[in-house]
Structure 1
Amino acid sequence: MIFGVVSTVLATQAGANDLDPSVTEGDVANFISAVVDLGCDIVTDDQSRAVEEATGLSNSQLHKVVEFLMRDGQVVSLVRGLRLTTGRCANA
């Protein structure tokens, strides 16, 4: 689930801000769209599952997308979950 991804990303946030080859810019766009559709914050298991289902990404791919967006400053960690901070979510 996405919650585990956030914890792992926070522990390993070093490195270049390149997109992992296992995911595409389209995967990132689909993830962002799914999070926007849910109101910009992913804080419940149901929301996490909804993003997983909407994107069709594997757990590993979700990890890579969230890692990329966190390093790029487009996603921030919450006490439980994450918040998208760009586009339509910039003022959420």
Structure 2
Amino acid sequence: MERPKLKAPDAMWAAIVGGVVAYDTLCRPGQTLSERMDDYLDHKTGRYITYAAVGMTALHLTNVLPDRLDLIHQLTKLKKAKAPEQIQ
């Protein structure tokens, strides 16, 4: 059986998860990422921004939104439009 090849995005996901776990394990008491998120949610504007950012990220990662409504997808299209053509 052939082992699946790991790609750059796989390494990035591992880095993100590892970074969150490492930070939350090593940070000062009361300064975890979740506790900071609680501070954002305590304010009306922060709550809306947080819900929008988390919601948009979740909808993007699960491919729920049509491409035209997916802000993150639109940003990657800009990147591709500005990149020089790749030689095949």
Question: TM-score w.r.t. structure 1 length?
Answer: 0.26
Higher helix share: 2
Higher strand share: 1
Q: Which has the higher contact order (CA 8 A, sep 6+)?
A: 1
- Tell me which structure has the larger Cα radius of gyration: 2
Question: TM-score w.r.t. structure 2 length?
Answer: 0.27
